[in-house]
């Protein structure tokens, strides 16, 4: 059974300064010396969680996407994180899944954070993205999606739909208890690894982020947790551990049968 090497980058961000963020993140990615296959960056990693998309948005041919393709190719990694994208006169908080060969998958944030006005500036996505790597299936989501368990719920009645649930975030410190609790809950209820990558530091809007990036195993045990500090951490997820847990505790077989409308 295969193992999967994932690197989490918990970092401060320069407010609405793409050039500074990309330079800083390039240095951090280049500093990863151990084997890694996936590198995860926070939500809106090139700008911070900004409600100014008209000034900051790029197209899928823009410099941030080109930078991601360059880094993925040079480091032979899958690089993922969300950026502000403009498409068909709409703005999206879009998670990009960039392969070393230049192929890009994307997921547009389904649940916009109305409390901060995200619904006034960004269009919502309609479809989930479950990527595949080395026989692993990875469900990719963004920040506020974490509060909506139906959107993350395993749907297959024959076998679990995915193996890893991954969240990129700009989740504020004042609600970090919810972040940590819900990451653990999503792992337990879906019998999957959960990876949550958050930023640290204060944004230009005066909101402080404490990080609390985490990796949780399918039983809800926390394998990694870092608070307040910047950190780059690579973890190895084991497929045989996941399979053993699901075989020993086949709770997924008793789940309710339902279907999410994604249109």
* Active-site entry in 37, 43, 58, 118: 43
**Whether residue 43 lies in the annotated active site:** yes
Three-class SS of residue 178?
helix
* Active-site entry in 143, 173, 180, 226: 143
**Whether residue 253 lies in the annotated active site:** no
Q: What share of the chain is helix, strand, coil (3-state, %, to 5)?
A: 30, 30, 40
Q: Which residues does 178 contact at the CB level (< 8 Å), separation at least 6?
A: 147
Integer Cα distance of 118 and 112 in angstroms: 5
* Active-site entry in 109, 118, 173, 180: 109
**Whether residue 75 lies in the annotated active site:** no
Which residue carries 């994180």 as its tokens? Answer: 81
The region that residue 33 occupies, defined by phi over 0 for left and psi between -120 and 50 for alpha, beta otherwise, is: alpha
Which ranges in 138-233 belong to alpha helices (H)?
Answer: 149-152, 176-190
* Catalytic machinery residues: 43, 109, 143
């Amino acid at each position: 059974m295969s193992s999967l090497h994932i690197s989490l980058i918990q970092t401060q961000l320069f407010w609405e300064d793409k050039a500074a963020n990309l330079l800083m993140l390039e240095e951090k990615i280049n500093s990863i010396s151990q084997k890694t296959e996936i590198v995860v960056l926070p939500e809106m990693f090139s700008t911070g969680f900004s409600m100014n998309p008209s000034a900051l948005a790029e197209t899928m041919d823009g410099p941030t996407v080109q930078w991601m393709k360059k880094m993925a190719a040079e480091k032979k990694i899958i690089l993922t994180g969300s950026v502000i994208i403009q498409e068909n006169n709409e703005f999206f908080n879009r998670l990009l899944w960039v392969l070393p060969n230049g192929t890009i998958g994307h997921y547009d944030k389904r649940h916009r954070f109305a409390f901060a006005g995200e619904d006034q500036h960004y269009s919502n996505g309609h479809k989930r993205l479950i990527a595949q790597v080395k026989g692993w299936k990875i469900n990719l989501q963004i920040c506020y999606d974490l509060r909506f368990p139906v959107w993350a719920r395993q749907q297959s009645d024959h076998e679990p739909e995915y193996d890893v649930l991954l969240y990129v975030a700009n989740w504020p410190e004042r609600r970090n208890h919810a972040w940590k609790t819900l990451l653990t809950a999503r792992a337990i209820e879906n019998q999957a690894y959960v990876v949550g990558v958050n930023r640290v530091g204060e944004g230009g809007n005066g909101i402080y982020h404490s990080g609390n990036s985490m990796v949780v195993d399918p039983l809800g045990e926390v394998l990694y947790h870092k608070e307040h500090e910047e950190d780059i951490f690579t973890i190895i997820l084991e497929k045989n551990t996941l399979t053993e847990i699901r075989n020993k505790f086949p709770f997924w077989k008793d789940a309710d049968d339902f279907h999410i409308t994604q249109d």
